[in-house]
Structure 1
Amino acid sequence: MEAVTAAWERYAAGRTPRRTHNAAGANTWLNWTQYADHGPDESLIGKVEGRHVLELGCGTGCNLAHLSTLGAQCVGIDIAPTQRKKAESRWGHLPNLSFQTAEATEFLATHPDSFDAVLSIFGPVWFTDPTMLLPLVRQSLTDGGVFVFSHKPPQLDPQPGEPLREARAVSRWDHSPREWTSLLASARFTNITADVIDPPDGKHEGTLVVRAEA
């Protein structure tokens, strides 16, 4: 685990801070894709106000901060300690928003029936064995809760557990929409959708977005 944490610390150190405003002039927003000002918004989650939301791999907290401004009770976890410091420095003034340093499976195992929504945006769902992670997400959701995650589409020859280029101690699980649907159904999720969102003009790689309900 120390090697994984160190890998994500190195990765975080090389990341550029998120812009203070998007193209529409907003200072908070939710972005599911790897492209600025592109893709769906928080409507994928459904109702936000008053709901308890957990983000796995929250990074510097920008997506979760947006949900907090909409009235959600938010918790963000990230395995890299410096990410928590960055998140609290930027968003610590917002109400109903907290950040913790934690590994996803360990955190989920101790929080059954705690959240109305669990999110992972290019986060641990992509980097954790789904046969271990998905049942833990399922048990952490309240009845009717929603699970939404995104990552890049699988490579032409996906290899579950393939090392991540940016953090060599980390493995990546590349699954197709059909494979994610099967894995989620096996973990007792329902109303599953899995689609690849087309990229903006001039780009060639889309974004896989998956949604399921408890």
Structure 2
Amino acid sequence: MNAAGETTWFNWTQYPDHGPGAEVLNITPGANVLDLGCGKGGNLAHLATLGARPVGVDISMPQIKSAEARWPNSKLELHQTEATRFLTESEEQFDAVFSVFGAAWFTDPALLLPAVRRRLRPGGVFAFSQRPPVEGCYGCQASYITKSENEDPLVVKRWDYEPDQWKDLLWANGFTAASARILPAPPGPRKIGTLLVRAQG
């Protein structure tokens, strides 16, 4: 349970019980909702309680298995695949597509944004969150993640832009009502906020 005593909730930020919730997606009961990089499925499970049809994509099978085990009664539709592959191969239309520190951060927007736009119903919402960029470090950035002493580190690419740059990219790919802002961190020693980007199809 979270601080409010709820068993499911929606969180865009890296801090518990902080920031806006599912209202960002503007969904109604019966909406088709797609999570790109669903992880253990907590946000999808919350959307299921709001009457949405929750569809999740994650490249990690252990994450998919964790989501299935954690939310056995939430009727999550989970797919172990890469986000742009799912968007390209699927014929479904979604009322909302979102990503919380997920595939929208780790996928080239030149590939991801047009693919999302094709799957989004007119007026549907695309929203994502991630850490804000480091000043002066924009576009594709690479990180090395150590796996073990006997293996080469894993190279992970991410795409970082300032809020206005994200808005320009969304407008250029046919989205409307694009907005982007940095949510400040809650009071305390940590100061890094959360970038929240939202647009409509």
Considering the TM-score relative to the shorter chain, is it more than 0.5?
Answer: yes
Structure 1 residues 145 and 162: CA distance shift in structure 2, 3 A? same
Q: Deviations over 1:122-159 (max 9, x none)?
A: 01111111011100000011111110100010001214
Match of 2:26 among 43, 46, 60: 46
One-letter code aligned to 1:25: G
Is the contact made by 1:151 and 1:208 (CA closer than 8 Å) also made in structure 2? yes
Shift of 1:112: 4.1
One-letter code aligned to 1:197: L
Q: Percent identity?
A: 48
Who is 2:56 aligned against? 76
Q: Deviations over 1:151-194 (max 9, x none)?
A: 01000121422113447322010111011001101110000110
One-letter code aligned to 2:50: L
Structure-2 separation of matches of 1:22 and 1:82: 24
Is the contact made by 1:112 and 1:139 (CA closer than 8 Å) also made in structure 2? no
Matches within 5 A, 1:38-117: 38-95=18-75, 97-117=76-96
Who is 1:206 aligned against? 193
- Local SS of the residue matching 1:161: strand
Who is 1:137 aligned against? 116
Equivalent pairs, count:
193
Is the contact made by 1:48 and 1:67 (CA closer than 8 Å) also made in structure 2? no
Structure-1 separation of matches of 2:122 and 2:194: 28
Is the contact made by 2:126 and 2:199 (CA closer than 8 Å) also made in structure 1? yes
Is the contact made by 2:34 and 2:55 (CA closer than 8 Å) also made in structure 1? yes
One-letter code aligned to 1:77: V
Structure-2 separation of matches of 1:160 and 1:75: 29
Is the contact made by 2:144 and 2:155 (CA closer than 8 Å) also made in structure 1? no
TM-score, structure 1 length as denominator? 0.87
Who is 1:181 aligned against? 167
Query: Unmatched 5+ residue regions in structure 1?
Result: 1-20
One-letter code aligned to 2:12: W
Match of 1:196 among 182, 185, 199: 182
Is the contact made by 2:96 and 2:125 (CA closer than 8 Å) also made in structure 1? yes
One-letter code aligned to 1:44: V
- Local SS of the residue matching 2:192: coil
- Local SS of the residue matching 2:160: coil
Shift of 1:113: 5.0
Match of 1:158 among 123, 137, 145: 137
